[in-house]
Amino acid sequence: MGAPLSSWPWENFGIFKYVLYGPFVGRVVYEMLYEEEKDLKFSWCLHLLILSSLRGLIYLLWNCYSNMLFLTRNRQILKQGVDFKQLDKEWDWDNFLILQTILASMAYYMFPFLQNLPLWNIKGLIAALMFHVGISEPLYYWVHKKFHGHYLFTNYHSLHHSIPVPQSVTVGTGTVLEHLFLTVVIGIPILGASLMGYGSTSMIYGYIFFFDFLRSLGHCNVEIVPHRLFQTFPFMRYIIYTPTYHTLHHTEKDSNFCLFMPLFDALGNTLNTKSWELHKSFSSGTEIYIVKKVIVSILSF
């Protein structure tokens, strides 16, 4: 028997796992047919269905781009291809979208301040950014390091690191426990800004898309961040990570633990010293491989 929360409740459902969206579809249909005064722009279930669909599309589009070798060949980080074993492991990558949709619907009924939000509030975007930098980033960094401890890594996080070639959909290859934690990380800025009275529909959409976009970026295995950005603005290397930066975490496993901001690796003394040199090489299209020890660590996993 596996560790608690190490497998998905709908693991054996196959394609029928999407039936779990049925209650949300049913609620939207009911509102359309029987609640004449209901304004669908306030329909939380409709927003959750739209969000889940668009989030899945973000990851799939990133994945398609990463595999367009005519565009990305010279800037690929790990050169080996994706085999069928990896495809099988990542087949149910979107489980976390179902989980977060269910949890978001529960949050809506638990927290009244999430209801009847305005379309736009610029203060909400600023507040969400502050909560992200001040709470979500350091929390993720600290817990992520804990997941690299023996027990948590063996029973949970090793699945994510068993993927030899990171892709955007690798984001979803993890256990229930990990994605429950990530739901907390992504929920803190949204709930925090809304609790302050600055919540808005655009803030929720914007922050979630920002989160998914950067997660996809880090796992895409193609270096698209120009090194000139860091040459012109050196401080930016501590503000935003790169695909090379996160790939080093996947291959060496003992550094680069941050969510999106390498600043926290610098503060925690876990920043891989090869990050910037390798980033410059890959972003310029130089045909080099990651150091031999990194490749060996992947093949021997």
pLDDT above 70 for 221: yes
Q: What are the boundaries of each domain within the chain? A: 25-299
Instruction: Indicate the range of 102-111, 161-170, 228-237, 286-295 predicted with least confidence.
Output: 286-295
Region class of 170: left (phi > 0), else alpha (psi between -120 and 50), else beta:
alpha
Q: How confident is the model at residue 20 (pLDDT cuts 50, 70, 90)?
A: very high
For 94, the 3-state DSSP assignment is: coil
- Average pLDDT for 177-196: 97
- Average pLDDT for 125-131: 97
Instruction: Provide Rg for the chain, Cα atoms.
Output: 20
pLDDT above 80 for 42: no
Q: In 176-210, which positions are buried (b, 16+ CB within 10 angstroms) versus exposed (e)?
A: bbbbebbbbbbbbbbbbbbeeebbbbbbbeebbeb
Instruction: Please give the residue that has the higher pLDDT: either 105 or 36.
Output: 105
| Residues 131, 188 contacting (CB under 8 angstroms) | yes
Q: How confident is the model at residue 144 (pLDDT cuts 50, 70, 90)?
A: very high
pLDDT above 50 for 288: no
pLDDT tens digits, 76-102 = 999 888 999 999 999 999 999 999 999
Query: Which pTM value belongs to this model?
Result: 0.91
Report phi then psi at 76, rounded to 5. -65, 145
Instruction: Indicate the range of 23-37, 111-125, 185-199, 270-284 predicted with least confidence.
Output: 23-37
**pLDDT for res 81:** 87
Q: In 93-118, which positions are buried (b, 16+ CB within 10 angstroms) versus exposed (e)?
A: bbbbbbbbbbebbebeeeeeebeebe
**pLDDT for res 196:** 95
